[in-house]
Amino acid sequence: MRVLFLTSDERVRGLTSDDGFEIGVISGATVFLLIFTSVLGAIAGFFYGVIRMLLRGPTWVVAIAVGITAAAAAGALIVKSDGIDFRVLEPLWLAVGLFLLIGGAWGVTVVVLTERLLRPGTVFRLLPPQIDRRYWGAFGSTLGWLALLAITTLGIIGLARDIAQLT
């Protein structure tokens, strides 16, 4: 948000954002936002842990797919055409891009860290790899990939609709 404040004109200074924060001010509310989004990211990480049981493929493919899905979902949830955040902060492409980057970076990071922690021989390995492979098989994997595709598609449609209204 600080980058967007610096790239926008002076008229945004002191305005209240859609989330109730004063634009351009780093305060206790900023610390709260960092803590809140960290907790939210941890909760979302739990949901990745559930969907991980369904996904099959190399880590890099899963990381890219989850990153794109997270970016689309975050974009659809955060970018709104009816508030002031994306109407006054400039440039619009940077505002949208930074929020997409946050979601996408979270998605890639959570996949890579989860896969690293669940490697055989680490303290965090909960189940032998054979158990979840036998249990879910090809059906579960297909279901997982379809869920990612559906979330991504819905996110992109919502994001595209809001961007179209903003431009």
Q: What is the pLDDT of residues 68-125, one digit of tens each?
A: 999 998 888 888 887 777 888 788 888 888 889 988 998 898 888 888 777 766 555 5
Is residue 55 situated within a structural domain? Answer: yes
How large a percentage of the chain has pLDDT more than 90?
Answer: 8
Is residue 8 situated within a structural domain? Answer: no
Q: For residue 96, what are the domain limits? A: 44-166
Sign of the dihedral defined by the CA atoms of residues 77, 80, 85, 89, in that order = positive
The residue among 163, 148, 152 whose CA lies nearest residue 74 is 152
Is residue 132 situated within a structural domain? Answer: yes
- When mean pLDDT is compared across 3-17, 34-48, 125-139, 144-158, the lowest value belongs to 125-139
pLDDT value for 120: 66
Q: Which positions ≥6 away from 69 have C-beta within 8 Å?
A: 107, 148, 151, 152, 155
The residue among 123, 106, 114 whose CA lies nearest residue 38 is 106
Is residue 26 situated within a structural domain? Answer: no
pTM (predicted TM-score): 0.69
Q: Give strand pairing partners of 22.
A: 16
